[in-house]
Each structure stands twice: as C-alpha cells, then as structure tokens.
Amino acid sequence: MTALSPTMQDGVIAGWLVSEGQAVKPGDALCEIETDKATMPYESPRAGTILKITALAGARAAVGETIAVIGKPGEDWQSVVPAIPAITAIPALTAIPATSSALPALEAGPVPLPAPVIAVPSAPAAVPPLNEPAFPSLGPSLPASTPPSSPLARKLARERGIDLRSLRGTGPHGRVIRRDVPSAGSVVPSTFGGESSTATHADRGAVAARTTGGRLRGDRVPISKMRSIIAGRLGTSWTQAPHFFVRAAVDMEKLLDLRASVNAGRDRPVGLNAFVMRLVAAALERHPIINASWEGDAIRYRPAADIGLAVALEGGLVTPVVRACERKGVEEIDAELADLVARARKGLLSPEEYSEASFTISNLGSSGVEEFTAIINPPGSAILALGAVSKEAVVRGDDIVARRMMRITVSSDHRVIDGAAAASFLSDLKALLEEPARGLL
C-alpha cells in the first residue's frame, strides 16, 4: 500500500468498486479509502485483471499491506503469491456495539510479487466518524433490498435509527456514504435498527443526545484517528517550537466599510476572512522570514503565501489551504475558500488541499472570543489568531470615539523568527488592516 498523504500510516477500505475477474487499466478507481480527513479513491497502478481481493470492505490495512492482486486473465494468484493472507476484519481495539461481532484481524505484510502479477498496495487507514470509537463495526448483515453503502454510513444509520433504504446515495454507483446520513435529531427514528417509528419525543431526545456528542458522566471514549493526529502534530509543535506571542488591537472601521461596499448588491457576500488572507499575504511579501519553515539544518523560505484557515469539524479540525494568495484578488480567494471549507466539512478534501500551509489563520471571532493565542501549525513558523470585532471607546487625539476593534495575536517559532521580526510584521499587518487600500490595490 502507498500512503495518500505524508501522515497516513494505515486506513479502512470503505468499499470496493471492482470485483475479482474484472479488467482494469491504470488510473481506474479500485476502492474507496477513508482517512482522517477525507474519503478518497484508490487507483490501479497498472493494467490487468483483478485476480484476488485480499482485503474486504471495512477492513483496516497498513501502508505496505496487500489488498488485491492484479495479473493476467486466468492466472492462479495462489500459485504465484501463496503467502498473502486475507484482511477480513477490523481489529477489536475499541468497544464494539452489542449488535455486532468483532473478528480478529489477520497479520498481513508486503509480499514481493514476481512479474507479471503485482500486489496492489492498500490505502491508508480509514478514519471512523468523529467523536466515535476508533474503528467502525461491520455490524449485522443487511437485508437484500438495502442499497450499497459504506461501513461508516451503515454504522451511523444504525446509531441514528435511520433506514438506509430511505436515503439517496451520492457515492460511486449510487452508494450511500457518510455524508448522506442525516444528523441525529433531523430525522424520526424508523423501524431500522430496532427503533420504533412511533418512538416518543423523549426517546428521540435521548437518541439525539447520545449521537450528537452527548456523553454520560464517567464515559471513557476512545480517541478518533483525527484527534490522534491533531494531538501528535500540535503536541510536537508546542514542545519542539519555542513559541512567543505579539499582540495588537486593530481599528477595523475602514476594512469593514470596504467589505460592505464590495458586497453591495452581491448575492453571496465576500467573507471577512478573504480580506484578511489577502492583506496577510501582502504583509508576508514584505517579511519573508514570517513565511519560512524550520528544517533542522536550514531555514526554507517559501516561494508563495500558501495560507491555511483553521476550520472546525465535529470532533476535530482541518486547515484547507489557499495557494499563492499574493497573486489572487479578494473575490477569487473567497470563492476558493468557500469551496474548500464546504468540501472540508463533507470530508472530501484531498491531502494536498489541507497540507503544507506556509502561514495559518485561526478565527474564533464568530464564537465571541475577544483574544486568544494559537499553536503554530507545522511546517509554518507563525499563526495569526483573530478575535471578535466589537465596539470600543478609543482615544483619538483629545476625543473619545466608538470604533469597531479587533484584537490579533501572532504566535511565532523563535527558532526561525526573532522578536523584532515578529513585531515588525505585526506592525505592518495592523497598518494594512487599518488602511486596506494599501494592500489590495
């Protein structure tokens, strides 16, 4: 198996799109792989016939394990590679619902295959739904009339009391996938999964409370794959990168007036984040050290302002990246950002769309947070934290006036950025936010 992103070590096969005996060509989608950030197709590396599928749908496989064998039509795969074990189930590492049974996972390792038969590497481990046990249960068999669906979709449907037959699949060949299953509380439990369609209002409330993150006191909930990756990356950043922080209060009057002018008559307004990203890119052009990365024995200056925006998901976060913001206008940045955020919330981003940000922005202003500090998102060396915009009494000359103000904080890696450099960047960024025409024209 080959990794689909730098952080992938294993994955779950959401479902096969081909069957044994089927002819394939390079680039054909063989199966779907669910990762911590997205569900992605796994493509065939060569032309041939699917001789054997060794990893069943729902199975967890590590990078380097074999999930299928491609060779010549009619060739006996067992006579060529007899040592490949089938990957049939998910290891019972976490609590499994009482309605399902866990099968032990068989060990499987990469096996060198002589030409013309090759082992198709398995894809990285599929990530379970956020805020749920680390690996999905295969669960009981479904009625013959049940539409094709991914293991995660079936698990969500069981927990939310939803009949899969009532859903319209948007996956390959009409397959029901995770995003097709409505959230708890938006549907009435059906007879599927043992829930009565005449359940009381209190029953529905209890189901919703348990499936929307509500937990009983004393519960011990296994961490998800996404939470594990967040813990590893940010824990490493906090302990290895010596953080320091510089702060400023920004007068947002002119920028907010400019945004209102740009949005006049528009069906979809341009978001404030797009303006901030473009002005940050202008400041980064003047301060290339803020846009650099620590590489142990060298500091790498990034060629473009690839700016990530932290997006909250249920049980975690992802940072979609808008590339080369310095070469784009505000409207282009906004359109690209809106697309990235929408697909991020559906788990549809590809690895290159959420990795390798040279600078990151975290905005908690919409949650009413006035000021905070953020942990640097590697491989970047700085991150900008945006607080809420609020009216404050400000001294202007001899007068006290009401102004819309926002507090910002830049967290910097002292291995790369010195205090004076961070202060100079913050000063220029504050000036650009207060006089946005200087950075947008």
Residues marked as catalytic: 414
Neighbour-count burial of 126, counting CB atoms closer than 10 A to its CB (0-12 exposed, 13-18 middle, 19+ buried): buried
Residues 162 and 149: their CA atoms lie apart, in Å, by 13
Give dist(CA 163, CA 407) in Å, integer.
48
Taking CA atoms, 196 is separated from 143, 170, 187, 200, 375, in Å, by 18, 27, 13, 9, 47
Q: What is the dihedral of CA 221, 225, 226, 228, to 10 degrees?
A: 80
Phi, psi angle pair for 214, to nearest 5° = -65, 130
Q: What does the alpha-carbon distance between residue 187 and residue 180 come to, in Å, rounded to a whole number?
A: 12
Given a contact cutoff of 8 angstroms between Cβ atoms, the answer to whether 162 and 169 are in contact is no
Number of Cβ within a 10 Å radius of residue 181: 24
Q: Dihedrals φ, ψ of 271, to 5°? A: -75, 155
CB atoms within 10 A of CB 145: 7
C-alpha R_g of the chain: 25
In the sheet where 10-16 sits, what is the strand order?
39-43, 29-34, 10-16, 60-62
**Any residues with CB less than 8 A from the CB of 54 and at least 6 apart, and which?**
66, 67, 68, 69, 84, 85, 86, 87, 108
- By the 10 Å C-beta count (0-12 exposed, 13-18 middle, 19+ buried), 379 is classed as middle
Rounded CA gap, 433 and 385, in Å?
14
Q: How far apart are CA 375 and CA 233, in angstroms?
A: 10
- Name the β-bridge partners of 359: 307
